[in-house]
Copies of this chain bind each other. A is one copy, B any other.
Amino acid sequence: MDALTIHEAAQTTGWSARMLRYVERLGLIEPQRSAAGYRIYGAGELQRLRTLRELLDEHGIGLGDVAFAERLRRERDLRTAVEGWIESEPRRPETVSADDWLRWEQEKHARLLAAATAPTPTMETTA
């Protein structure tokens, strides 16, 4: 039995029928339709529904996030714009006035010590 109706699909995947429609409206999973317009979930959709659930739970993200990720890879200009902005990395304080700069340098050590307790050691670059 591969072709399931929405309620059957809901039952076997742990989603609700309501959410299946919602997931579809977000453009994440769009099942085939029968001649009468009934949604028909095949094995592929069922698999994607289950892995989608895992994806959300394991990384603490939302449906909207996945939808946005899809937009990112479908809309090229959007992707380049977003990536371009992100890559315009925050500069060192090369732009501030000299006296302030001194203060910053002085406090930098204190700041670094404080920051050492905070989790942000990811300095990887894919450039």
| Number of chain A residues close to chain B: CB under 8 A | 56
Given A32-B104, A104-B32: A95 and B59 within 8 A (CB)?
no
Min Cβ gap A80→B in Å is: 11
CB pair A3–B100 under 8 Å, yes or no, is yes
State the Cβ distance, A84 to closest chain B Cβ, in Å: 8
Which residue of B30, B86, B90 contacts A69 across the interface (Cβ within 8 Å)? B86
Chain A residues in the interface with B (C-beta under 8 A): 1-3, 29-30, 32-35, 40, 42-45, 47-48, 51-52, 55, 58-59, 61, 64-66, 68-70, 72-76, 78, 81-83, 85-86, 88, 90-91, 93-97, 100, 103-104, 106-107, 111, 122, 124, 126
